[in-house]
Structure formats: C-alpha cells, structure tokens
Amino acid sequence: MKKKQKTERVRKPKQVRSKTKVKKVLEAGRKCFVKLGYAKTTMVKIAKEAGVSTGTTYSYFKDKNDVLKKILKEHVENILQPAEAVMDSLNEKSSLRSTLKKLIMTALDSPEDVGMDKIFHEQIMKDKELQALAAGYRDRGLDICKKLVQQFGNKKAKKDLEASAQIVVGLLDYCTHVNTLFPTNIPREKACEIGIAMIIAYFK
C-alpha cells in the first residue's frame, strides 16, 4: 500500500524550475553512485548532494533505482542518438573505416562515465527492470550494426546478418570500454585500431 502511494506522488517536471531540480538530482545521483556505490547510496544522500529536500527528490523519483534508471536512459540516449544519426547520414561515398571511427567516438567513455558504467553493469545483473531496459537499448545497437553490415558487408556477412551484427556489436563494445570495463595494458587507441581492422577484414 505504501509503495502505491509513493508511486502516485511521483510527477513529471513541466516548469523550468522543476526540470532544473530533476537535473540536479540526476547529477547528484551520478556522484553518489560513483563515490559510494549503489548499496550505500540513499535518497537522503542524493538529496543532500543535490541541495534539495528529500521530499522533493521523492516527488520526482520513486526510489534510488528509479534515479539509476533515468541516469541509464540519459546515458544511453547520448550514445545511441548520435550513432543512429551517423547511420542515417551514410551515402555511397561513405567508407567503412570512417563510419566505424565515428560510431566509436559516439560511445567512448568520458572520465565521469566510467564509474557509472560499472554501476550499470553490476545492477543490470541483479535487476529485471534494468535488464529489460538494457535489452531494448541493445536491440537498437543491433539495428545500427545490421545497417552497417547491409551497407558495407560482403555476401556472407549479409547472409548471416544477425550473427554478423552481434559480432560487430561485441567488437565495438570492447573498443569503447577498453581499460574501463575491460582492463588491459593495451592503449585504447591501439585496441580501437585492431577492432576496426578486424571488422573491415570480416566484411571483405
């Protein structure tokens, strides 16, 4: 019963002032999750970091998991939308190498994203709602890679479209998270160079 009442209190920000408060809460959530970890982060701590009351925080978010989901959505949209724009802009003069470089650049971790990526991956393993969100985002990533195969792939790659797209997604994911989620002594630039070369070789 209490859970239902809390859900009913949550509202969408419409005014500039409300949107500013939501932005502050999301930024505070990022800082708390990265600094304290998911388990030790609370709505009270997020509210304190944001400089707003705990009641204000609960008026826009059900709980800290809801804050995490909104951060995840914002994070992924900042990657997928530019990547989808790259694919929409392709023409007959576009090259595979330059397209791959552009796709990688849209997804490279910034220093502030590294900690959140780790939180996302840890919590996605435990939370079904986050798993469903991640599955939807992965489908969009696969669609991007399917278009890549259809535009640049050879007959064999196009015939095995689903498998080819899965392979490309995996390689691009590694390139964009090398030395963050995937620790290695290989410099990121070198890893991306090898990843791109592997995709080009597969497509020939």
pLDDT, position 9:
62
Q: How many domains does the chain have?
A: 2
pLDDT, position 5:
40
pTM (predicted TM-score): 0.84
164 and 74 within one domain: yes
53 and 140 within one domain: no
Angle subtended by helix axes 96-107 and 128-152, to nearest 10: 160
Tens of pLDDT, residues 104-141 = 999 886 666 778 888 998 999 999 999 999 999 999 99
118 and 43 within one domain: no
Instruction: Point out the domain boundary residue: 62, 80, 112.
Output: 62
Once rounded to an integer, what is the mean pLDDT over residues 163-177? 93
Residue 29: CATH number of its domain: 1.10.10.60
69 and 56 within one domain: no
pLDDT, position 1:
41
Which pLDDT band holds residue 30 (cuts at 50, 70, 90)?
A: very high
Residue 118: CATH number of its domain: 1.10.357
Angle in degrees, CA 168, 173, 177, rounded to 5:
155
Instruction: Point out the domain boundary residue: 16, 39, 62.
Output: 62
- For residue 85, what are the domain limits? 65-203
89 and 13 within one domain: no
The first and second tokens of residue 37, run together, are 């970890």
Mean pLDDT (the chain, rounded)? 90
Is pLDDT of 7 > 50? no
Angle in degrees, CA 171, 173, 174, rounded to 5:
65
91 and 44 within one domain: no
